[in-house]
Amino acid sequence: MIDKHFFENTRILDGGMGQELLNRGLKPRGTLWSAEALIKEEYHQLVIDTHLDFIDAGAEIIVTNTFTARKGRLIQNNCLESFEVINKKAVELALRARDLSKKNVFIAGGLPNQKQTYSADLGEDLHEIEVRFNEQAAMLKDGIDFFYLDVMGSGKECEIALNSINKYNLPVLVGLHVKDNGKLPSGETVEQIVNDNQNDKWMGILTACVSPKAYNLVKNELKKLKLPYGFKLNAFNKIPDNYVVSSADSWGIEGNPNKILGVNKDLNENEFFNIVREYMDDGATILGGCCEIKPSHIKAISQLII
């Protein structure tokens, strides 16, 4: 069982599974994104191989490929019947990759936001959001080492997600999305979220799917929280303030979010190494990537803890 103090030492997480699967040939539908690789058996080996490449690059923690295996996306794309099967399959594939690697790797059960990504909008039916968090958590709990709350956009969303996993004897790493103004989409600060929601199962906190600019704005705030902290940086070009994934054709026929969000080509492996080294020297112990951060980026920063 993973120690609650695990992230007090410097640790490396994986990068962006969804975008990496697309870059390796996944043909998605609508807004299913990486969930398509769980629905179609022909892509299962691709998921395993991608996990393995992140592990071989130096990741000590891999996150289950469950960001779009949430009910909302499945409903958008008329495949809700796959919900239970694909969430359990995501854990199975991550475990298989870990076993094949023969390395001491931990599995984080990725529990994502249940409404709009990069948004505080939970809709009018909070009970439905609670149901969705509870149901997805129940599908992930067996086989994982801890939960990872992925891209939480508000204190309320964080509260609901934490309540959904409270019944399980598992620690949690909390991932908050921070915009380029240094605040969550809700307008709250990271400090507010921690003060209102921290409990004895928290292993640490990270800024989830954020730009280096956003992390720079909150790094001093993170230092004061008396928690292990860090980031999963993305290499998208820019996330618009009004970004909404509202229908199956939101990203066009290719089903790729970078059609809207673009790719920050300046954040190459060398630049990623330099940025992460700076943040690590400044106190961050949880180092990782998100969308468009590849195994080669993780390989670059693995040199920092050899």
For residues 218 and 182, is the Cβ–Cβ distance under 8 A?
A: yes
Say what the pLDDT of residue 249 is: 64
Eight-state DSSP code of residue 152: E
Tokens of 99: 């076993």
* Distance separating alpha carbons of residues 160 and 131, to the nearest angstrom: 10
Q: What is the CATH number of the domain that holds 43?
A: 3.20.20.330
The Cα-based distances of 96 to 45, 155, 256, 282 in angstroms read 10, 34, 27, 35
Beta strand ranges found along the chain (DSSP E): 11-12, 61-63, 106-112, 146-152, 172-176, 202-210, 229-233, 286-289
Q: Has residue 158 been placed in a domain?
A: yes
Q: Has residue 1 been placed in a domain?
A: no
Residue 251 is part of which domain span?
6-305
Instruction: Supply the pTM of this predicted model.
Output: 0.96
Say what the pLDDT of residue 301 is: 98
Say what the pLDDT of residue 9 is: 96
Say what the pLDDT of residue 252 is: 65
Mean pLDDT by 10 residues, the chain (306 residues): 92 97 93 96 98 98 98 94 98 98 98 95 94 98 97 98 96 97 97 97 97 97 96 94 74 77 94 98 97 98 89
Three-state DSSP at 41 gives helix
Q: Has residue 49 been placed in a domain?
A: yes
The total number of structural domains in the chain stands at: 1
